[in-house]
Amino acid sequence: MVENKNEIKIVMLTIKEAAALVDGLTEYRVRQLCRSGELPCIKAGKKYLINKDVLFRYLGGEPE
């Protein structure tokens, strides 16, 4: 099988997973950021899914 070296892996996190990755960031705050639109995310049913790279860019202060 041939492996594609240009393949990009997208990692999506739930609110709980996102909050667990960053010390001092609570699930409540992540949910607030998602609801306000400040943190770009996707709503799948009742769950918010956050791209891991987007989360770290947001926390680093980089504009979208």
Query: Does 54 reside within a domain?
Result: yes
55's tokens: 């989360």
CB-side neighbour CA atoms (13 Å) of 38: 9
Q: Return the pLDDT at 6.
A: 79
Residue 21: domain span: 12-59
Query: Does 1 reside within a domain?
Result: no
Query: Does 3 reside within a domain?
Result: no
Closest C-alpha to 13, from 57, 55, 49, 59? 49
Q: Return the pLDDT at 5.
A: 74
Query: Does 49 reside within a domain?
Result: yes
Domain count, the chain: 1
Distance of alpha carbon 29 from alpha carbon 46, whole angstroms: 17
Query: Does 50 reside within a domain?
Result: yes
In 3-state terms, what secondary structure has residue 64?
coil
Per residue in 17-62, pLDDT tens? 999 999 999 999 999 999 999 999 999 999 999 999 999 999 987 6
